[in-house]
Amino acid sequence: MAKLSNPFTLGVASGEPLPDGVIIWTRLAPEPLSRASVPGGMPNQNVKVRWQVAEDERFTRIAAEGTATATPAHAHSVHVKVDGLRPGTEYFYRFRVGAPFADTTSPVGRTRTAPARDADTPLRFAFVSCQRYEHGYYTVYRHIAQQRPDLVVHLGDYIYEYGKPANPAPGRYVRKLEPPEAECKTLPAYRNRYARIKSDPDLQAAHAAAPWVTIWDDHEVKNDYAGKLPGDGSDPAAFLRRRTAAYQAYWEHLPLRVRPSGDALQMYRWRPYGKVADLLLLDSRQYRTKTSMLGADQERWLLTRLAESQARWRVVAEPLFFSRRLFAGNRTSADAWDAFAAERTRIVDAVRASGRPNLVVISGDVHNHWAAEVLTDFADPASPSVGVEFVGSSVTSAPPETDVDAVLRLNPHIKFFDGHRGYVWCEADGESFTAEYRVVDHVDRPGAPVRTVARFSVVDGRLKRADA
């Protein structure tokens, strides 16, 4: 039998850094968009994958190595839990396969462990959201890769489930989805959407440049879903099957520490970065009801974590606009925190009770850049602030029509808006936290340069413009 060709078409990734280890990931897929019953153009058999982690890019100082098994049941994805590494240290990793392939080595990835719990190592990270493939090129990721961050945080909408619209608006179908360009509802369809997206060289470069931590929003499953309900009144049992398939495909394509269990996938979690930052990652979808964004268990966990955090910065990573945002006519979004104001107040109060206004919320979803101060009473602009919110724009997803002037006028705690695609670059240490709003001028063709449109530091829970 002829040997199969290169299986590393979807790149490599690492994630979930702890002081002593990371997860490294790849998926074998010689034909990533194959619609055969076994995904990725793979044979229906287990395949041994050798992996190596080294201290140097040429793999002369090996820190850990072993063999993993890629199985058809998990679309031949490989998640290796590497431990025994040193804290706050850069490593390189690669995979290798033999039969049924010709001997092939993957591209090399760079990763970095989290600092030791008592270290005050500075943290440099980028955060992103909303990368609708058909809306444009992932130029943003090329620029992030070049900055070699310690960490990339993805705040959701890694995929969009939508198919090609019947009549796409001009400029909104820039890149073709995978055939048959239909809405994703089944495991094979979600897998092929990830395969389409992960074939992108700029996205692969960003995954290979740094460890990622990811959370999801709604489009990893279905627009505006809530918990086990589809949000559109359709059959809940069918929706739960769809959600289970979507969660499995999400896990198969990202370097997660946990795997799905039944219809669930544990996503909210705490990632400490030494004494500098406690990163609290939220799940705004899986436990959502009409009255709760997070569900009782997750809310209790968050309030406890916020109360116990001793880090210089308490960074809450979640998908949705956290601060109040009134639109003209005092309308609010029914999907974001304004629809869960009592729950938001309990979170703000937990930070206020500690007496340290060091909350930094990082969020996305709205496809534009914003910055806000998180007030104890959003109706009273003179009320104390417990910290700030940095809202990052989309990687590609087209923005909604927004009456920006009205929003800024009605919400004096919102201090900044920019309407480009982009990402936010953050640097934190034991004293300061700064955020740089980075943008590209176009995504309808590749190659846009990047520039910084604003820079803020956080001083006593307030935003301070710090442009050079």
Q: Which stretch binds Fe ion (CB under 5 A): 16-24, 129-137, 377-385, 420-428?
A: 129-137
Bin 252: left if φ > 0, else alpha if -120 < ψ < 50, else beta.
alpha
Minimum CB separation from Fe ion for residue 365, in Å?
6
Q: Which is nearer to Fe ion, 130 or 351 (CB)?
A: 130
Is residue 221 part of the contact set for Fe ion (CB under 5 A)? no
Q: Which is nearer to Fe ion, 16 or 220 (CB)?
A: 220
Contacts (CB under 5 A) with Fe ion, residues 227-286: none
Q: Is 303 exposed, middle or buried (0-12, 13-18, 19+ CB in 10 A)?
A: middle
Q: Which is nearer to Fe ion, 255 or 392 (CB)?
A: 392
Minimum CB separation from Fe ion for residue 65, in Å?
39
Minimum CB separation from Fe ion for residue 282, in Å?
16
Contact present, 322 and 370 (Cβ < 8 Å): no
Is residue 202 part of the contact set for Fe ion (CB under 5 A)? no
372 bridge partner residues: 389, 414
Is residue 157 part of the contact set for Fe ion (CB under 5 A)? yes
For the chain, counts of helices (H) and of strands (E): 7, 22
Phi, psi dihedral angles at 110 (to 5 degrees): -110, 140
Question: Which residue is it, tokens 């201090």?
Answer: 415
Q: Which is nearer to Fe ion, 157 or 252 (CB)?
A: 157
What is d(CA 440, CA 136) in angstroms, rounded to the nearest whole number? 12
Q: Is 104 exposed, middle or buried (0-12, 13-18, 19+ CB in 10 A)?
A: middle
Minimum CB separation from Fe ion for residue 129, in Å?
6
Q: Which stretch binds Fe ion (CB under 5 A): 107-115, 130-138, 250-258, 450-458?
A: 130-138
Among 130, 189, 280, 316, binds Fe ion (CB under 5 A): 130
Q: Which stretch binds Fe ion (CB under 5 A): 20-28, 124-132, 199-207, 268-276?
A: 124-132
Minimum CB separation from Fe ion for residue 352, in Å?
30
Minimum CB separation from Fe ion for residue 223, in Å?
9
Tokens representing residue 22 in the block:
């990371």
Question: Which residue is it, tokens 């240290």?
Answer: 89
273 bridge partner residues: 277
Per CB under 5 A, residues contacting Fe ion are: 130, 157, 397
